[in-house]
Amino acid sequence: MEVINGDITKLDVDIIVNAANNTLLGGGGVDGAIHRASGPKLLEECKTLHGCETGESKMTNAYNLPCNKIIHTVGPIYHYENDAASLLKSCYKTSYLLAEQYRKENKLDNITIAYPCISTGVYGYPKDEACMIAVNTIKELDNNHINVIFVCFDEESYTLYKKELEK
Ligand code: AR6
């Protein structure tokens, strides 16, 4: 596991994760950035998926992005969900398991997946709690074949992840 500060759309990795909404039809924040950079074919493919439940994940092609695949996951709206922590944990888990399935199907020894700080923007999840859930969930799942990069977009998140990963 490592943490970097930067724009997830620029990463040349196997898979990037998108913090999407239930429609999977685009939005603001990282979702908007991914759709803009990937191009209109992404929206066309997303329309065929018929949305996604909160905590679940679905994979698409990446089109004009440098990565190979995008996993769209839907984080909880912090003040709306009763069990936001379980749902956020489920986002990391379901996307990781989809990535592992992709790795096996393509007979790859190792892959790299990059995660944004899911739910910590528009969806209002406290950054410190979300960071702990992200790191602990990946630790529990760790299988030595998947490299995980946490991509932060602000200094506060970056510092939180640095500290959590040093533990
Ligand atoms: N690269 C990496 N991280 C980014 C980027 C980027 N290019 N742009 C923003 N972030 P948010 P949410 C960070 O709001 O809270 C959308 O409208 C951002 O600083 O994108 O899960 C969807 O359609 C923050 O740390 O996602 C949904 O409706 C993190 O990404 C809703 O927002 C997540 O912020 C989802 O809200």
31 lines ligand 1 (CB under 6 A): yes
Q: How far is CA 92 from CA 53, 107, 117, in A?
A: 14, 22, 10
Structure tokens at 18: 């998108």
7 lines ligand 1 (CB under 6 A): yes
112 lines ligand 1 (CB under 6 A): no
Decide: 46 and 71 in contact? Cβ < 8 Å: no
∠166-159-129 over CA atoms, to 5°?
Answer: 85
pTM for the complete prediction?
Answer: 0.98
87 CA from centroid of ligand 1 (Å): 16
CA 99, CA 129: separation in Å to the nearest integer? Answer: 24
Q: 3-class DSSP state for residue 18? A: strand
Other beta carbons within 10 angstroms of residue 3's beta carbon come to: 22
95 CA from centroid of ligand 1 (Å): 16
- The string of pLDDT tens digits covering residues 128-142 is 999 999 999 999 998
CATH 3.40.220.10 fits 2-166, yes or no: yes
CA 96, CA 45: separation in Å to the nearest integer? Answer: 21
39 CA from centroid of ligand 1 (Å): 18
122 CA from centroid of ligand 1 (Å): 7
118 lines ligand 1 (CB under 6 A): yes
pLDDT along the chain (167 residues), means of 10: 98 98 98 98 98 98 98 98 97 98 98 98 98 98 94 98 96
Decide: 18 and 25 in contact? Cβ < 8 Å: no
The DSSP letter of residue 167 is -
- The string of pLDDT tens digits covering residues 35-59 is 999 999 999 999 999 999 999 999 9
